[in-house]
Amino acid sequence: MPASPRFRFRFAVACALLISAHCAAAWQIGNRVIIEHGALTVDHGRSVKQITAAQARGGFKADHGVGLFQNRIKTELAFAEVSPSGKRLFATTKITTAPVIYIASELPSESCAYKLVLAHELKHQDYDLEVLRAMPDEIRRFSHDVFDTDDIDRTGALNQTRARNRFFQQFNFVYQSLGDMRHPVIDSPESYRHLGSLCNGELAKYLPTPATGKAVAKRGK
């Protein structure tokens, strides 16, 4: 006995739903993110000249060499399960941090300028912690893009080298971008001018006079 048209319609709808659900969730992808926060170190042993040089080597923008916040981040990616037949890919990401604040040795401990620079660099650390708190969700989201499941379906295996390269490229891009949305808030010429006006101008002698033309030229590099 042929199925009633109504039944057939229902069956067709159910199939379509199943197929789309199956296609969208064909691969189960997971990434467990563990963050191990290292204790903050305050390094008061480097000169303005050394801190300025450290800025040139990378890390966060130095505040004209009087202070610098740097977080040395180690990220490890491990594939816990890659099952082409079961369409399951599970990874673990471990982020280990080592935050350091440099304060120029020219600024005496307990001085107003020292405290001012420390407070400023601690604000950079706050921004960095905000970024790190956002990273697990970001990592889970971009894991769906960077692990090429179409390629696994085609070849039957995960190309780990390529997966790692794409993962770390995206990790660095996202970490950098989220930081770029925050740190410049306190690293503006206005902010430096304000810092220079505090502590009876104690800090001002280490800060360059803000020159708009110069700042623009620098940004262009």
Residues binding Zn ion: number (CB under 5 A): 2
From the list 33, 46, 51, 63, which residue makes contact with Zn ion (rule: CB under 5 A)?
A: 63
Separation CA 26–CA 152 (nearest Å)? 12
| φ/ψ (deg, to 5) at 49 | -60, -45
For residue 35, give the 3-state DSSP assignment.
Answer: strand
Q: Which is nearer to Zn ion, 63 or 128 (CB)?
A: 63
Q: Under the criterion CB under 5 A, does residue 138 sit at the interface with Zn ion?
A: no
Q: Which is nearer to Zn ion, 63 or 75 (CB)?
A: 63
Separation CA 190–CA 215 (nearest Å)? 12
Q: Under the criterion CB under 5 A, does residue 43 sit at the interface with Zn ion?
A: no
From the list 43, 187, 189, 207, which residue makes contact with Zn ion (rule: CB under 5 A)?
A: 187
Burial of 148 (C-beta count, 10 Å sphere; 0-12/13-18/19+): middle
Q: Under the criterion CB under 5 A, does residue 151 sit at the interface with Zn ion?
A: no
Binding piece for Zn ion, criterion CB under 5 A, among 56-64, 71-79, 91-99, 135-143: 56-64
> Cα–Cα–Cα angle for 151, 92, 80, nearest 5°?
65
CB of 22 to Zn ion, least distance (A): 50
The binding site for Zn ion (CB under 5 A) comprises: 63, 187
